[in-house]
Amino acid sequence: MMPIRRLAVLCIVFSLGAVLLTPLTHAADFNVDVKFHINTQRHSYDDVVKWLKANIETTESLYSNTPALKIHPTFVQENHPRIESKTGANGQKYSYLGFNNTSELIKFMEDNFDNQARSKTEGHLTMLVVDDVVQNEKKDKGFCGRASFPHWVNPFGHKLGIILVTCRAVAYEKDDFVDNFLIAHELGHFLSLKHTFEPYINLNPLSVANCNKDFGNHIKCNSCQGQVLPNDEGELRECSGTANVMDYCQSLKGKEVLNACQLNRAAKQRERYQTSDGKTDYQAMAGLRGEGQCEADADCEDGEFCTVGILNLARNICKPKLDRGTLCTTKRQCASDRCSWGVCADPDECRADADCGAGNYCGDPISGKRTCKDKLNDGSVCTKDLQCQAGRCKTGFCSAPDSASMGESCRFDDECREGKCNAPVGGLTKGTCVCNKDSDCGSGKWCDGGVDAKVNACRPKLDKGESCAGVAGNDHKCKSGECSGFPKYVCK
Ligand SMILES: [Zn+2]
């Protein structure tokens, strides 16, 4: 414990200096959201959550130096199809992930359980919890946990989600021992800690951060402060006393620690995972593949859509909405909020009249695009029947048959309910509905033709005694067909 006290004194000196030189920007706490994807057959979901919560508590108390680690967990039931359900020789069920080699495993984690940065300060670390993982099935090489280093260079810059295996959740063959240090160990790697039996390679020649100098001798369980004992497999991996968290060494007393150098190193790494104003920098933790994973469009920025249910990707991501004319399968992809004919289309765009609502027609293309237009009134210039409210385009004008009464304007004879249209043939000039002769008016009526043809009108034939006065030829005005003539001019 001596080194810790000495280091604490040094820290006070340094932080006083820091106050004078630069403003203190790092927050007291390092808050991090962690999403646990749990798939277990060996234990109950609730028991695993309980185990994880105990692990979180241990982890927070270990990494409590500034910025103190505060884990905010979310637990979800994971049902990824790649996770198998197996039955062991003893009939016990367990969930299983098997890979041919390590790169296959890395790819799976990258594609499905990567750390997420929705924005710089929003996201989560990902932890996948299953019962058994084998990374080389031929050699049956399994593990109880796996994490990547922040400076892992192969592949460059990748920071994957952490895998936690329930191997040591409950030691069912031995009383009820519970390992509460698995998260502390795996997160330790993520915070740049190596195993105690591995040497640190310092690229910076000034660095003194060789935290394993006391026991970096490649012998596992070398941190044990007590008696080293064999585990079930006969390996010397159990310790009767206190052991180091980053060792392959399980303390049978349940007491595992980190040394001052490790604590300092992990705290520095947490600071690197913070923004200049002390917030948690999820982009820094997510590495090169840190793009946000989404579950719905609402998770994405304005102008983006979530690929969920659209693209067959292993992970759903936010993508910019597509421009007009780009291939699409749903309107969610389109900036215009419309996907028609397999491409993003403008809201008012059409290819046929059927694409437009009632009262609209699909107009002729203007700069490569046809749009829905209001149907035209009678008399408007047109080229097609469907442009017209009347449903008829006659020699370039919208025209409704039987739409005009006597005296009303018209272009064509058949627009007049009665009589004829006195406009010149062709429709270019308007006329009025008039009659020229009785037959224009139908039965029971006569054509009252004046000097001015425009005021010609059909009138009901006259009863007996009614005046049928006129210039000449007045018989046709009477129902009886006879006008008395001079002097009375009444119908007979
Ligand atoms: Zn490890």
Question: 86: CA distance to ligand 1 center in Å?
Answer: 26
Counting every residue written for the chain, the total comes to 492
Whether the CB-CB separation of 243 and 249 falls below 8 Å is answered with yes
Question: 144: CA distance to ligand 1 center in Å?
Answer: 9
User: What pLDDT is attached to residue 368?
Assistant: 83
User: What pLDDT is attached to residue 160?
Assistant: 77
Question: 267: CA distance to ligand 1 center in Å?
Answer: 18
Question: 6: CA distance to ligand 1 center in Å?
Answer: 28
Question: 141: CA distance to ligand 1 center in Å?
Answer: 14
Whether the CB-CB separation of 380 and 386 falls below 8 Å is answered with no
CA–CA gap between residue 334 and residue 341 (Å, rounded): 13
Question: 212: CA distance to ligand 1 center in Å?
Answer: 14
In percent, the amount of the chain with pLDDT more than 70 equals 84
User: What pLDDT is attached to residue 4?
Assistant: 28
User: Among all chains, which residue has been given the structure tokens 């890395």?
Assistant: 106
Whether the CB-CB separation of 42 and 95 falls below 8 Å is answered with yes
CA–CA gap between residue 138 and residue 101 (Å, rounded): 9
Q: Is the pLDDT of residue 170 over 90?
A: no
User: What pLDDT is attached to residue 270?
Assistant: 94
Q: Is the pLDDT of residue 78 over 50?
A: yes
CA–CA gap between residue 463 and residue 492 (Å, rounded): 8
| pLDDT confidence tier of residue 315, bands split at 50, 70 and 90 | low
Q: Is the pLDDT of residue 198 over 50?
A: yes
Q: What are phi and psi of 263, to 5 degrees?
A: -60, -40
Question: Average pLDDT, stretch 253-265?
Answer: 92
Whether the CB-CB separation of 332 and 305 falls below 8 Å is answered with yes
User: Among all chains, which residue has been given the structure tokens 């060789």?
Assistant: 210
Question: 19: CA distance to ligand 1 center in Å?
Answer: 36
Question: 318: CA distance to ligand 1 center in Å?
Answer: 33
Question: 196: CA distance to ligand 1 center in Å?
Answer: 9
Which residues are CB-neighbours of 340 under 8 A, at least 6 positions away? 349, 351, 355
Question: Average pLDDT, stretch 452-466?
Answer: 79
Question: Average pLDDT, stretch 378-399?
Answer: 90
Question: 193: CA distance to ligand 1 center in Å?
Answer: 9
User: What pLDDT is attached to residue 169?
Assistant: 67
Give the residue among 261, 267, 285, 257 at the shortest CA–CA distance from 58.
257
User: SS3 of 131, please?
Assistant: coil
Question: 294: CA distance to ligand 1 center in Å?
Answer: 30
How many Cβ atoms sit within 10 Å of the Cβ of residue 263? 20
427-440 tens-digit pLDDT: 788 888 888 778 87
Question: Average pLDDT, stretch 396-418?
Answer: 89
Q: Quote the strand ranges of 155-249, DSSP E.
A: 162-165, 228-230, 236-239, 243-244
Question: 47: CA distance to ligand 1 center in Å?
Answer: 24
Q: How many DSSP H helices and E strands does the chain contain?
A: 6, 28
| pLDDT confidence tier of residue 205, bands split at 50, 70 and 90 | very low
Question: 209: CA distance to ligand 1 center in Å?
Answer: 18
Question: 477: CA distance to ligand 1 center in Å?
Answer: 115
Question: 184: CA distance to ligand 1 center in Å?
Answer: 10
CA–CA gap between residue 99 and residue 139 (Å, rounded): 11
User: SS3 of 234, please?
Assistant: coil
Whether the CB-CB separation of 386 and 356 falls below 8 Å is answered with no
Q: What is the dihedral of CA 202, 204, 205, 206, to 10 degrees?
A: -110
Q: Which stretch of DSSP H or E encloses residue 47? A: helix 45-62
Question: 479: CA distance to ligand 1 center in Å?
Answer: 116
CA–CA gap between residue 90 and residue 70 (Å, rounded): 40
Question: 304: CA distance to ligand 1 center in Å?
Answer: 39
User: What pLDDT is attached to residue 472?
Assistant: 72
User: What pLDDT is attached to residue 146?
Assistant: 78
Question: 423: CA distance to ligand 1 center in Å?
Answer: 97
46-70 tens-digit pLDDT: 999 999 999 999 999 999 999 999 9
Question: 269: CA distance to ligand 1 center in Å?
Answer: 17
| pLDDT confidence tier of residue 406, bands split at 50, 70 and 90 | confident
Sign, CA torsion 310/312/318/321: negative
Query: What is the pLDDT of the chain when averaged over all its residues?
Result: 82
Question: 146: CA distance to ligand 1 center in Å?
Answer: 6
Whether the CB-CB separation of 447 and 470 falls below 8 Å is answered with no
Question: 58: CA distance to ligand 1 center in Å?
Answer: 17
Question: 79: CA distance to ligand 1 center in Å?
Answer: 26
Q: What is the fold, at CATH topology level, of the domain defined by 27-193+258-286? A: Collagenase (Catalytic Domain) (3.40.390)
Where do the domains of the chain lie?
A: 27-193+258-286, 401-460, 463-492
Q: Fill in the DSSP letter of residue 9.
A: H
Sign, CA torsion 441/447/453/454: negative
Question: 195: CA distance to ligand 1 center in Å?
Answer: 6
